Amino acid sequence: MTDHTALLRQVADRADPTALPSPRAIRDAGRRRARRELVAWASAAVVAVAVVVGLVASGGGDRSQPAPVLPSPSPSPQPTPPGGWDRARIAPVEKGVEPNAVAAMGGRFVAAADTSVSRAVDGTDLPPLWWSDDGRTWHAATGGPAVPNAWDVAASDDVFVAVAPRGLRRSTAWYSSDGSSWQRADVPDAFHAFSMSSTAAGLFAWSETAVYTSADGHSWTEVTDLPRTARDGQVCFVHDLGDEVVLGAVDASDRPRGWSRRDGSWQPADADRPALGRWCRVHEAVAWTAEGPDTVISVLPYNGYGNTVFLRDR
C-alpha cells in the first residue's frame, strides 16, 4: 500500500514557504504592484509640491534663490539569474507580464499571467495567456480571457486548461489543444476556481471550498462527494501522489487533512501531515515548474521584479 505520509512530506518539502506566496497572495500581487506604482508617483508629486511651496514662501521671483536640490533616483537593481538558470521575459516590457503558473505538453510551454501592471503603467493591453516552444521566446495566445489575469494553467496529454476570474467569486475555464488558440469551456453557473491540476483521474479545478472535474477540459462539473471536512475548511490541492489521486485540505481548526480517490470515492489517507504552512503550498510547488523534452522552466519571485520565468537545459 502507498505510503502517503512519506509522499506527502516529500512533495510538501519542495514548497519553501519563505519563497512561494499563497494563492491569495498571487491574486493580490497585481493590486500591490499597482499601489507601489501609485506610491512612487505620489512621492514625486509631494517633492514637486514642496519645491513650489518653498519658492512661494521665499518670495519666488522677487529675489534670486539657489536652485532646489532634488533627490537622485536610485537605479533599479539588475537581477542576476541563479546559477545554471537563464532569465526569460514573456513580453518586451520589464514589468508587463508576471507569470502565476506554467505548464508543459510535449515540447510546448504555456504561462498563465497577470498583465494588469502593463495597463496601469503605460496603458498597454496584454493577454494573460502566453506560449513558447523553447521557454525563451514567448508569444501572446489568442481567444483567451478578456481580463488581464489568468490564475492557473495545467496540461494533460492532449489539452491545456486555464482558469481566470469573472467578477466576485466567479471564474471562467478555458482549453486549448496547442496553447496558442483558446476556447471557453462550459462550467456550472456558480463555477469558482483559482487552481487547476491534471491527474490520473482527470482534470481538477478548485477554490477554497469547491472542487470541479473534467475529462477533456471542454466542460466541467462539480465534485459533489467532496468530504465535509474539506468543504468546511479549505481545499489546498488535488494531485497525483504515488499511484493515487490525493485531495489535500485543512479542516475548520486549521489541521492538515488528506484523502485519496479509491473506488470512486474519497477515502482518508493517513493522519500525519506536514506543517500547515507547507501543506497549502504543495500545489504551488507543482504549478510553478514545467518540464519539456529539453528545457525546464520555473517561476520564481525575484529581486523586486515580481514573479519571473527562469529556464535551464535538462
Asked whether residue 127 carries a pLDDT value surpassing 70, the answer given is yes
Question: 297 CB contacts (<8 Å, ≥6 apart)?
Answer: 88, 102, 104, 109, 135, 289, 290, 309, 310, 311
Residue bearing cell 521557454:
135
**Residue 307 CA to its chain's centroid (Å):** 9
Stretch 138-160: mean pLDDT: 95
User: With contact defined as beta carbons under 8 Å apart, do 162 and 153 qualify?
Assistant: yes
- 9: domain range? 4-24+84-313
- Please check whether residue 232 lies inside any domain of the structure: yes
pLDDT in tens, 42-82: 333 333 223 222 322 333 343 344 433 434 444 445 556 66
d(CA 213, CA 156): 13
Summarised one tens digit per residue, pLDDT across range 236-268 is: 999 998 888 999 999 888 888 999 998 888 998
Q: What is residue 282's DSSP assignment?
A: H
Is the residue at 114 inside a domain?
A: yes
pLDDT-based confidence at 176, cuts 50/70/90? very high
Q: What is the pLDDT of residue 84?
A: 82
The answer to whether 80 touches 73, Cβ cutoff 8 Å, is: no
Q: Is residue 29 a part of any domain in this protein?
A: no
For 41-53, what is each residue's pLDDT tens digit? 233 333 322 322 2
Residue 13 CB neighbour total at 10 angstroms? 12
CATH of residue 204's domain is 2.120.10
Model confidence, pTM: 0.74
Residues 198 and 256: their CA atoms lie apart, in Å, by: 22
Is-contact 100 26, C-beta < 8 A?
A: yes
Residue 301 lies in a domain: yes
In a domain, residue 174? The reply is yes
Decide if 103 is inside a domain: yes
Give the integer Cα–Cα distance in Å for 270 and 8: 10
Closest CA to 257 of 193, 266, 225: 266
Kindly give, in sequence order, each residue whose CB lies less than 8 Å from that of residue 275, ignoring residues fewer than 6 positions away: 256
Burial of 119 (0-12, 13-18, 19+ CB in 10 A): middle
37: helix, strand or coil: helix
Q: Are 225 and 200 in contact (CB under 8 A)?
A: no
Rounded-to-integer distance, Cα 251 and Cα 165, Å:
25
Find, among 209, 152, 220, the residue nearest to 184 by Cα. Answer: 220
Say how many domains are in the chain.
1
CA dihedral 261, 264, 164, 188 (to 10 degrees): -150
Q: Has residue 261 been placed in a domain?
A: yes
Reported confidence tier of residue 25, pLDDT bands at 50, 70, 90 = very low
pLDDT digits (tens, 9 = 90+) for 201-230: 999 999 999 999 999 999 999 999 999 999
**Percent helix, percent strand, percent coil in the chain, to nearest 5:** 20, 35, 45
By the 8 A CB rule, do 102 and 287 touch? yes
Query: Does 225 reside within a domain?
Result: yes
What per-residue confidence (pLDDT) applies to 194?
94
